[in-house]
Structure 1
Amino acid sequence: MSLTTAFERRDLPLEHEFAIARESAAVAETVVVRIEDEAGVTGVGAAAPSAHYGETVATVEAVLPDLLGVVEAVGDPTNLQRIEAEMERVVRANPAARAAVSIACHDYAAKRAGMPLYRYWGLDPARTVASSFTIGLDTTERMRAKTRDAVAAGYDVLKVKLGTERDREIVEAVRDAAPDATVRVDANEAWTPREAVANTEWLAALDVEFLEQPVPAENPDGMRFVREHGALPVAADESCVTLADVPEVADIADIANVKLMKCGGPREARRLFAAARAHGLEVMLGCMVESNAAIAAAHHLVPLVDYADLDGSLLLADDPYDGVPMPGGDIDLAAVDRAGTGARRADAGDSANDA
């Protein structure tokens, strides 16, 4: 099979500057990958690298020629087992870069099969869960206003970023603006274990569902302390990166937050789901700030998880790709009317292979 592969950097402005406890950004730096055969069947994927995990756009661009060279050498993008084994042999780290290629191969394989990706995997579209909508750090009043906007747009599950001296004030403002919403909070490693335990008391009183990554990943004993003494379930994000992390996460948290950009793509994410289940963990599927070229694939995995946090493309001012319909956070896989992940250039026509 004759294949053509390519990649392109796309810097995507955000609708609002997005801040968490350790950083803020006004632009999402992405790299879009394309794989095309001689018949014009095209698979698309994208990398959304995070410097926190040791990746940048520059590192992604540096390794993509080798990763795409693997696909060309194998010659069949549907041979996912061989491609992913060879990619890991050639480039052991760089999970976002590997995820971009893996997503493109999955998109291609499902298009070749003539079905949406969830059907290619044999998943039930009726088993999806609603995605949360993220309220990034800002002034308290702007976070209150963003909450009101999210509720008005139909989102009834909210994820609130914390890690400031105003945390209680912020959650009270969010709860005031969204009294009936399901609220989750994410401290992004900003608290000490004792601060986290104390904070869970008032968070529980404000009807928060669970607390994500309260203390640094480098302090597993601190996470365990929060889990054992706090008043809320604990989700592990920065503590849960690869498959090898799952056994320890099961000892220090209740929920594993799996992200394609952390673990290397959809196939590896499914292995993390299975390991998490085997260790008694619930599973959340999360994301970075991503284009639909990447995040659409994650939407198709939602029937396998307990919680979804897949709003990354909604934070962009203008995504060049359309994806899976998600009105008010409801991930509507049954509405995907084309084969593959559903990612398609926003300016494309009706061709099923337009990517």
Structure 2
Amino acid sequence: MDLRTALVTLRLRHPFGLSRGTVSELPSLLVRLEPPGSPDGPERRGLGEAAPVRYLGQSAPAAAPLAVAIAAELEPAILSDPRAITAASGRMRELAPAHSAARCAVDTALWDAAARARDLPLADWLADPDVLDRAGLDGHVLLATSGAAVTSYTIALDELPAMAARAAAAAQLPVLKIKLGRAREFDRAAVRAVAAAAPRARLRVDANGGWTPEDARALLPLLVDLGVEQLEQPLPAGRPDLLAALARDSPIPIYADEDAQGPDDVIALAGAVAGVNVKLMKCGGISPALAMIAAARREGLRVLLGCMIESRVGLAAASALSRLADEADLDAHMLTLDDPMPPGSQDRLAPELPRPRGPGLGVPPGALPAEGDHGPARVA
């Protein structure tokens, strides 16, 4: 099958800081799968996105030829069989072993096209246990949760006045995620400032691997006092033993993100952490995300559904899995300024999940920008 690609730049509404640095814009690759005959039948097209995982060394331009090569090996018949779609993820890994985002773009486009061909929203199709069973997964295990109903909103790492001001502007939201990991005393002051600015919000903290075990243990009493309900990836990835030791002593549930890249990592983390952050871009798309969630359910781990800085395409794909997750952190549409895909970026801060209505992902396949064209800015 053919694949059309478009590189876009997603500008951020505010500087987006975390322990690894700060950015003001990020590139992403949008794709549209073109099965034979699809120009006259848009219901057979499928959209996908590759928002590169930068800490894994990925880039958006490098994703384009990889995604095209993956799509070229696919037969249109794959769209008729969920099991064939999930099975294709193994071949995708062979073709793009180091670029999970490129694999994600094609895998998502397959699921989108398959749901569109059935005139069903992808979220509804994936909420059918029979469909999940036919995909080679245990639908009843995957659906053994009430699902995630709202998204958290990120207060990125910045100077203290800026973090407090953004928390105050978002104080009406139910859940705020605070990015930390700069320095112990700064982080102490930052979490206090956010808590004071948004006293009724539930708080979660994400250090993106920016703490030492000593930092984490020194900060835990304050986090407990402020009612922080979740601590994400406090320690650098690659030492799950240290993460497990910290989790054993922590009164706050600890979730793994950078340490949870795929289903095998989930199994290895069983008994070490309370939950895992499942992101389509880092695991390679909807198919491996379903496998990660299934592994988490079998191992008794909670599932946080996360995102990178992505357009409405990637967000819609992640939102389609929200009924299978316990919590969601899908807020990129409120962090970007000029998302080119409808309904565009959103300046209103709201907890609703970014799930457009309509077949498949709910994003019109004809909305893909021209190569290098950002498209018109749309603000909902």
Using the size of structure 2 for normalisation, the TM-score is: 0.84
Name the SS for the 1:321 alignment partner: coil
* Equivalent position amino acid for 1:48 in 2: A
Moved more, 267-276 or 38-47: 38-47
Note closer, same or farther for the CA distance 1:251–1:127 as it changes in structure 2 (3 Å cut): closer
Q: Do structure 1's residue 52 and structure 2's residue 68 form an aligned pair?
A: no
Aligned to 1:40: 42
Structure 2, unaligned runs of 5 or more: 129-142, 369-380
Aligned to 1:307: 327
Name the SS for the 1:251 alignment partner: coil
Note closer, same or farther for the CA distance 1:320–1:293 as it changes in structure 2 (3 Å cut): same
Aligned to 2:96: 91
Name the SS for the 1:252 alignment partner: coil
Aligned to 1:256: 276
**In structure 2, distance between residues paired with 1:332 and 1:164:** 30
CA contact (8 A) 1:18 1:136 kept: yes
CA contact (8 A) 2:2 2:71 kept: no
Provide the alpha-carbon RMSD of the alignment: 2.3
Query: Displacement of 1:111 after TM fit?
Result: 0.7
Query: Displacement of 1:267 after TM fit?
Result: 1.4
* Equivalent position amino acid for 1:162 in 2: L
Query: Displacement of 1:205 after TM fit?
Result: 0.3
CA contact (8 A) 2:121 2:361 kept: yes
**In structure 2, distance between residues paired with 1:34 and 1:102:** 11
**In structure 2, distance between residues paired with 1:212 and 1:260:** 17
Q: Do structure 1's residue 107 and structure 2's residue 112 form an aligned pair?
A: yes
**In structure 2, distance between residues paired with 1:126 and 1:328:** 21
* Equivalent position amino acid for 2:42 in 1: G
Aligned to 1:160: 178
Query: Displacement of 1:83 after TM fit?
Result: 3.3
**In structure 2, distance between residues paired with 1:13 and 1:332:** 18
**In structure 1, distance between residues paired with 2:2 and 2:162:** 46
Name the SS for the 2:260 alignment partner: coil
Name the SS for the 1:52 alignment partner: helix
* Equivalent position amino acid for 1:30 in 2: S
Aligned to 2:257: 237
CA deviation vs aligned residue, 1:242-286 (integer Å, no higher than 9, x gap): 111112222321111110001111111111011011111111011
Using the size of structure 1 for normalisation, the TM-score is: 0.89
CA contact (8 A) 2:316 2:354 kept: no
Q: Pairwise mapping of residues 158-237 of structure 1 onto structure 2 (< 5 A)?
A: 158-165=176-183, 166-237=186-257
CA contact (8 A) 1:193 1:226 kept: yes
Structure 1, unaligned runs of 5 or more: 349-355
* Equivalent position amino acid for 2:181 in 1: G
Name the SS for the 2:42 alignment partner: coil
**In structure 2, distance between residues paired with 1:323 and 1:184:** 28
Moved more, 38-47 or 157-166: 38-47
